[in-house]
Structure formats: structure tokens, C-alpha cells
């Protein structure tokens, strides 16, 4: 009798198991597949086969059972509990159990009456829904069957006729088999378009032009496995009319000819941004991994100078990386995980957005660590036998970056954070590119890159030396001649700078920036007629060149050609409504012109007030224009007050000639006289 409960318990187990209702695809499994798998496994996406229907899933049931049991699929790399992110693709324990049990039971389909939800609508491949605007490469590009990696940049015009605020973009590579990664920038200057036009094939070789820039603080780019995300609330970015989307693709030959045609969807909002994010990059650009090294580690850290919210992180490395982790150590000694990945896979990278932004105080130290395996035991090592691997952009090279998208808690801290981090980034970049130059001293592009970094750091003599060495290797480079001229002019070596700009124009007569800068130096040297022609040429070649229009307007104004000058200043303000020189220049004409058709004191005051505010009351020409505008309107007390402010600023800046002019202005306005310029 004492053994009876045990016997009964044993006999009850088969009864409980047989009471479970068999699972069906229609009722139990389809919702899991559609939410976790089908975003990639459907026609046109990165998955090698579709999983939209019962037949699709049944056909691959054994494979699905194996890869989900090993947590290989769905591909979600961050370690659970070390950062909580939006839209996690990992299977929950219950979902995994149901999927495994359904397959073990024979993968029954079920009837239509059992359907628990309708199949999703995939919006013709757009994960964020139908875009407001779709742009695409005007012509597909063909990647050769073999050879080395290709870096090519493509220009996609964006047809908008007014400023728009972008809340999201969705990038489709067109052929994910050959695209290693993509960098995206926006070019308002048309300089990228000109480079494209000079190349017979679609796009042009090399990296993005300096005029193609990332919208401030946005993580715009694409890597395999990356899903599209809207910008964080309040951080949408402004897109100006006439802009081009510039897409730099890193392309890998596959053994057969492949065609690539990028398509990008834009999603707009009418709400302007309320906050400005910043992009911070931790990483190592001096990676040098010897063959057979099984545990090569790189680290980096950065102390936050202000309070921030961390919105998203984006790790990036290549094939040898095996693990990565990132933490934030707060001033009170506590540590918070940013992210950790203990099975790095180059094929699956993403921008990971936190479910709730992480608030980190000033003084928090951000740190990251990557571990690499360059041994034969690493199944993802592309080198057989293992070879030395250094930092670089090619797939055969290695990288180790962690991008963080952060938002300063106080708007006033944005400039401080940007300036502080720029110092770190410049030092890191210089270390990286000087290392590349040491390994490849005969490459003029390496000298150009190092020279540009020296120039950004204000190390002008070193920049000049590197530009000259680049020209020794390749004298017929117009951009290098131009950059040398820029560095020489910044150093005060005007005659040498003029010669360099002239060389740039000999090589490329349509180099608009060289025309503009040469005109500026010629004007300083008293050659106003020659300067005028170069400014005009720059504005014709680049109608959107703000500085060329401003320089032309100022020179015309100085020479008394006021209607033409006013037209140039108006062209500047159409491109940049806050341009101090154009606001002040047009205000001066409206306040002081003897021609009644040009004179408009009320408009002059409005323009000059804007100029003074944009210059934060530190520009003597804007202050002079404001005083003259008040005098033109008969408001002499205000004119005297403003002119005295200009006098004080000129004295504080040791500008004795300007101070003398302001003394004359004060006397004139005190006597009730407005300033009128004579007809030329």
C-alpha cells in the first residue's frame, strides 16, 4: 500500500502527455515565424530562402530546428542582460519550445479556421512602410567577377523643392551579396555630382568628397543584417532642396559579375528637431595582429565632459573579431553595461537602440574591448594559413569600432561635447593614418590623408610638407594643389598659395573653390579686377557656393556697384539665411545707398539686427551696418549707442583704424546726420 502513490504517479504521466493539443502552423507557429524570421526570409531580402508559407517552413523544418536550438537563428548577437534594446529578434524560451515541439510532432499545418492572425503585409519590401520619397542610382554598376575590393561612390539626386525634416531612411543595397558596407552622406554643393560626371561609369572611384557630410549626430550607414530605425524622438534632421545623397559602397567580388543598384526610402515629418545628437566613436585604428595570435585585444575609453543620454550603439569589426563588450563606469563607481557580444559574426551587424535611453552623468568613463582570434582555430579566419592583419577598410583587414549616438542633456553642452571629442578623434585618426603611411610611403593618397589631419589640427608646417610630398609623387592632382594653397594661405605665405591655386586651376579649370580662394588672395593683394573674374567664375561653376557669392557681393559693394552687390547678397541669403556677411552687407546697402530705389531703412534694421545676433555681437561690420541703419531711419540715439559698442569692440581687439572710423560715426550720428554713400 505504501508504494501505491508512486505507482499511480507513474501511470499518470502518459495520460498528461496525451492530453496536450497538437500544435499547428496555422494557429501556433505562423505568428512566431512571421514576427521573428520572415523580415529577412522573404523574396528580395537577405535570407537565402523564403519562410512566408507553411510549405516554405515545412520544407526547411529540420534546418530550422537545428539552428534555433543552437540560437544561431534568428540572428541577434547582443548578450541578454547586458543592454536592453528595441526590436530584439531573439526567440523567447516559450517561442523556442513551441517551435521545437511542433517540428518534433511532425509539423502539422492546421486548418484555415484555426488561423490566429492574418499574414503580414510587407509593403513591397519596405520594413518601415511605404516611404514618402524613393531615390535610386540612376544607373546600375557592374562589379567585376574577381580582383580586389572596390571602393566606389555614387550620387543619388534627392528631388525635394523645399526644406524637409527626415525622421528615417531605409537603405536597400540592391545586391547584398557584394556590398560589404555603405557610408551615407548628404552633399548640398554639387561637388560630388561633378566628380560623378567626370567618370564614364556610374559613380566615381574613392571615398566621399569632404562636402558630403553626415547629418549631425546621425548613424547613417548600412552593414549586413542592419535593420532600419527612425531617428530618436526630437532628433530628425533637415534636408535642404538641391541636395544629393552620396553613397560610398565597399564592394567585394563574388567570382561572377554582379550588378548593384542602391535604392533608398526617405520618411519625412513636418516637425522640426528639438535636440541635436552627437556621434562618438571608440576604437582602435592601430590594430596589428600577428599570425597565430589567438587572443589579440584592443581597448579604448573616453570620459564624458557633460551629462548625456545614450540612445544607440553600433559595434563594427571584421572577420577575426570573436568577442566585444562595452561599459560605462559612473563617477560613483557603479558600472552599467552598454553592450556585449560573445560570438561576433561579421555578417550580422546592426545599430542597437536602447529600449530606454541610458542617462549618464558628466565624468562617466565609456570603455570598449574587442578580442580577436587570428589562429587556424577560428572558423571565420579568411586567411589560410593565418597571416598578419592590420587596421584598414578592406575585408581582409580588421577594424574595431563602437559608435555611440548620444544627446547632451543641456543644449548649451552640445558645442563643448563636440569640441572635446573632436580632439580625441583627431589624435586617433592621425595615429591611424600615419601608420598606414609608414607602410605605404609611395601612395600619394596616404600623404593627402595625413596632411588633411595635420591641417585640421592646426599643424600647418607638417600639413604643407605632406601635401608637397604627395605632389612629388603625383603633381597633376588638382585637389592636392588646392589643399596646399589653403594650408599656405593659412600660414600667411600668400604668394606661394596663389601659385598653388593657379596650379590647381591649370589642372582643372573648373575647380570652383580654387577660383574663390584665388580671388580672395588676389583681392588682398590689390588685384581687384582679377579677383572679380575669379569670384564670378566660382559662382557660375557652383551656383550654391555661398562664400563665392558673398565675396563677389562684398567686392562689388566696395566698388560701388550696389545693385549687383545686393543681388549677390540676396543669393547668399537664399542659401543660408543666417550668413553674417551677407546680412550685414545687404543691410549696409539698404541703409547707406544714395539711390532711393535701393535705400530701405526699415529693411536695413531688420537685416542688421539679424546679422548682429548671428555674430553674437562680436562682428564690427555687422555693428557698423546696424548703427547706419538706425541713423537712416532717424533713430540717432540708438545709432550712437550701437556705434559706441562697435568702438569698444574695435579697441578691445586692437583695431585702431576701425576704432577711428567708429569715432567719426559717433560724431556724425550725434549731430543728427545719416551716412550716405555717393554714386560711383
Considering the chain, what percentage of its residues have pLDDT values greater than 70?
95
Cα 327 to its chain centre, rounded Å, is 24
Q: Distance between CA 7 and CA 3 in Å, rounded?
A: 6
pLDDT for residue 365: 98
If you compute the radius of gyration of the chain from its CA atoms, what whole number of angstroms results?
A: 31
Quote the pLDDT of residue 21. 83
pLDDT digits (tens, 9 = 90+) for 191-237: 788 888 888 899 998 777 767 788 888 888 887 667 788 888 889 99
- The Cα-based distances of 255 to 1, 252, 588 in angstroms read 76, 9, 65
10 Å Cβ neighbour count for 341?
24
30 SS3 class:
helix
Retrieve residue 439's grid coordinates.
607602410
Question: CATH class for domain 133-269?
Answer: mainly beta
pLDDT number for residue 674: 93
Give me the pLDDT at residue 378, please.
95
**Domain edges within the chain:** 20-120, 133-269, 278-434, 578-680
Give the torsion through C-alpha atoms of 435, 438, 443, 447, to 10 deg: 70
Q: Are strands 164-172 and 258-260 parallel, antiparallel or unpaired?
A: unpaired
Composition of the chain by helix, strand, coil, percent to 5: 40, 20, 40
pLDDT the model gives residue 593: 94
Domains 133-269 and 578-680 fall in the same CATH topology: no
Q: Which residue has the cell 525622421?
A: 167
Tell me how far apart the alpha carbons of residues 308 and 417 are, in angstroms, rounded to a whole number.
Answer: 9
CA dihedral 456, 457, 458, 464 (to 10 degrees): -70
Cα gap 677→77, rounded to integer Å: 70
Q: Does residue 11 carry a pLDDT above 70?
A: no
**Residue 653: phi, psi to the nearest 5?**
-95, 5
Q: Is the pLDDT of residue 311 over 70?
A: yes
pTM: 0.71
Q: What is the pLDDT of residue 680?
A: 46
Helix axes 546-558, 528-541, angle to 10 degrees: 150
Q: Which residue has the higher pLDDT, 503 or 197?
A: 503
Cβ atoms of residues 29 and 23 within 8 Å: yes
Question: Grid cell 592590420 — which residue?
Answer: 390
* pLDDT tens figures, 248-263: 998 888 899 999 999 9
Q: What is the arithmetic mean of pLDDT over 300-323?
A: 95
Chain segment 591-625, per-residue pLDDT in tens = 999 888 999 999 999 999 999 999 999 999 999 99
What average pLDDT does the chain have? 89
Q: What is the 3-state secondary structure (H, E, C) of 488-539?
A: HHHCCCHHHHHHHHHHHHHHCCCCHHHHHHHHHHHHHCCCHHHHHHHHHHHH
Residue entry with cell 548577437: 77
- Say if residue 43's pLDDT is above 80: no
Contacts of 649 (CB under 8 A, 6+ apart): 617, 618, 620, 623
- The pLDDT, as a whole number, for residue 12 is 35
All three cell numbers of 385: 594559413
Domain 578-680, second-level architecture: Alpha Horseshoe (1.25)
Domain 278-434 fold: Jelly Rolls (2.60.120)
Comparing 271-280, 469-478, 644-653, which segment has the lowest mean pLDDT? 271-280
**How much of the chain, in percent, has pLDDT values that exceed 90?**
65
Beta bridge partners of 366: 302, 328
Residue 288: what pLDDT? 94
Give the model's confidence band at 123: pLDDT under 50 very low, under 70 low, under 90 confident, else very high: low
Distances in Å between the Cα of 369 and the Cα atoms of 295, 304, 319, 343 are: 12, 18, 16, 14
Amino acid at each position: 500500500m505504501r508504494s501505491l502513490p508512486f505507482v499511480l504517479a507513474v501511470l499518470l504521466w502518459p495520460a498528461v502527455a496525451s492530453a496536450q493539443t497538437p500544435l499547428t502552423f496555422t494557429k501556433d507557429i505562423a505568428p512566431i515565424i512571421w514576427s521573428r524570421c520572415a523580415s529577412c526570409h522573404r523574396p528580395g531580402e537577405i535570407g537565402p530562402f523564403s519562410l512566408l508559407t507553411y510549405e516554405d517552413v515545412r520544407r526547411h523544418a529540420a534546418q530550422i530546428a537545428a539552428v534555433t536550438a543552437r540560437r544561431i537563428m534568428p540572428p541577434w548577437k547582443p548578450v541578454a542582460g547586458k543592454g536592453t534594446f528595441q526590436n530584439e529578434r531573439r526567440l523567447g524560451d516559450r517561442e523556442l519550445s513551441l517551435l521545437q515541439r511542433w517540428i518534433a510532432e511532425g509539423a502539422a499545418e492546421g486548418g484555415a479556421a484555426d488561423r490566429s492572425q492574418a499574414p503580414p503585409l510587407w509593403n513591397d519590401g519596405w520594413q518601415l512602410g511605404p516611404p514618402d520619397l524613393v531615390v535610386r542610382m540612376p544607373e546600375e554598376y557592374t562589379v567585376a567577377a574577381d580582383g580586389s575590393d572596390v571602393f566606389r561612390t555614387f550620387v543619388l539626386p534627392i528631388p525635394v523643392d523645399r526644406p524637409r525634416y527626415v525622421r528615417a531612411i531605409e537603405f536597400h543595397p540592391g545586391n547584398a551579396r557584394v556590398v560589404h558596407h555603405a557610408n551615407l552622406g548628404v552633399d548640398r554643393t554639387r561637388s560630388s555630382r561633378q566628380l560623378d560626371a567626370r567618370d564614364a561609369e556610374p559613380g566615381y572611384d574613392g571615398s566621399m568628397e569632404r562636402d558630403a557630410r553626415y547629418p549631425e549626430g546621425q548613424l547613417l550607414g548600412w552593414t549586413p543584417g542592419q535593420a532600419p530605425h527612425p531617428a530618436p524622438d526630437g532628433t530628425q534632421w533637415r534636408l535642404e532642396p538641391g541636395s544629393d545623397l552620396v553613397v560610398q559602397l565597399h564592394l567585394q567580388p563574388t567570382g561572377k559579375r554582379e550588378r548593384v543598384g542602391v535604392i533608398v526610402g526617405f520618411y519625412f515629418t513636418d516637425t522640426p528637431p528639438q535636440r541635436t545628437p552627437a556621434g562618438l566613436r571608440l576604437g582602435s585604428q592601430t590594430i596589428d595582429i600577428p599570425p597565430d595570435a589567438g587572443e589579440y585585444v584592443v581597448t579604448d575609453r573616453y570620459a564624458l565632459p557633460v551629462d548625456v543620454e545614450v540612445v544607440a550603439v553600433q559595434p563594427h569589426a571584421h572577420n577575426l573579431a570573436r568577442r566585444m563588450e562595452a561599459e560605462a563606469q559612473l563617477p560613483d563607481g557603479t558600472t552599467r553595461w552598454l553592450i556585449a557580444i560573445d560570438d561576433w559574426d561579421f555578417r550580422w551587424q546592426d545599430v542597437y537602440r536602447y529600449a530606454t535611453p541610458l542617462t549618464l552623468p558628466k565624468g562617466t568613463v565609456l570603455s570598449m574591448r574587442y578580442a580577436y582570434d587570428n589562429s587556424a582555430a577560428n572558423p571565420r579566419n579568411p586567411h589560410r594559413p593565418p597571416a598578419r592583419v592590420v587596421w584598414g577598410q578592406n575585408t581582409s583587414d580588421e577594424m574595431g569600432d563602437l559608435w555611440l549616438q548620444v544627446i547632451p542633456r543641456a543644449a548649451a553642452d552640445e558645442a563643448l561635447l563636440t569640441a572635446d571629442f573632436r580632439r580625441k578623434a583627431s589624435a586617433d585618426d592621425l595615429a591611424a593614418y600615419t601608420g598606414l603611411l609608414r607602410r605605404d610611403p609611395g601612395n600619394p593618397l596616404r600623404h593627402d590623408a595625413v596632411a588633411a589631419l595635420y591641417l585640421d589640427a592646426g599643424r600647418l608646417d607638417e600639413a604643407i610638407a605632406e601635401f608637397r610630398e604627395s605632389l612629388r609623387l603625383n603633381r597633376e592632382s588638382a585637389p592636392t594643389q588646392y589643399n596646399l594653397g589653403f594650408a599656405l594661405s593659412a600660414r600667411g605665405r600668400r604668394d606661394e598659395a596663389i601659385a598653388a591655386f593657379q596650379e590647381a586651376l591649370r589642372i582643372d579649370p573648373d575647380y570652383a573653390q580654387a577660383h574663390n580662394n584665388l580671388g580672395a588672395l588676389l583681392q588682398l593683394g590689390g588685384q581687384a579686377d582679377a579677383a572679380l573674374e575669379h569670384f564670378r567664375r566660382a559662382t557660375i561653376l557652383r551656383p550654391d557656393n555661398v562664400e563665392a557669392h558673398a565675396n563677389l557681393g562684398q567686392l562689388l559693394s566696395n566698388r560701388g556697384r550696389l545693385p549687383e552687390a545686393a543681388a549677390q547678397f540676396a543669393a547668399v541669403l537664399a542659401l543660408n539665411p543666417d550668413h553674417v556677411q551677407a546680412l550685414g552687407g545687404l543691410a549696409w546697402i539698404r541703409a547707406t545707398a544714395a539711390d532711393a530705389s535701393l535705400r530701405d531703412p526699415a529693411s536695413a534694421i531688420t537685416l542688421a539686427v539679424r546679422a548682429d545676433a548671428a555674430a553674437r555681437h562680436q562682428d564690427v561690420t555687422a555693428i557698423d551696418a546696424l548703427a547706419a541703419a538706425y541713423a537712416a531711419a532717424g533713430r540717432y540715439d540708438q545709432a550712437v549707442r550701437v556705434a559706441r559698442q562697435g568702438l569698444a569692440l574695435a579697441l578691445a581687439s586692437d583695431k585702431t583704424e576701425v576704432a577711428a572710423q567708429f569715432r567719426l560715426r559717433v560724431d556724425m550720428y550725434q549731430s543728427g546726420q545719416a551716412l550716405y554713400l555717393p554714386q560711383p
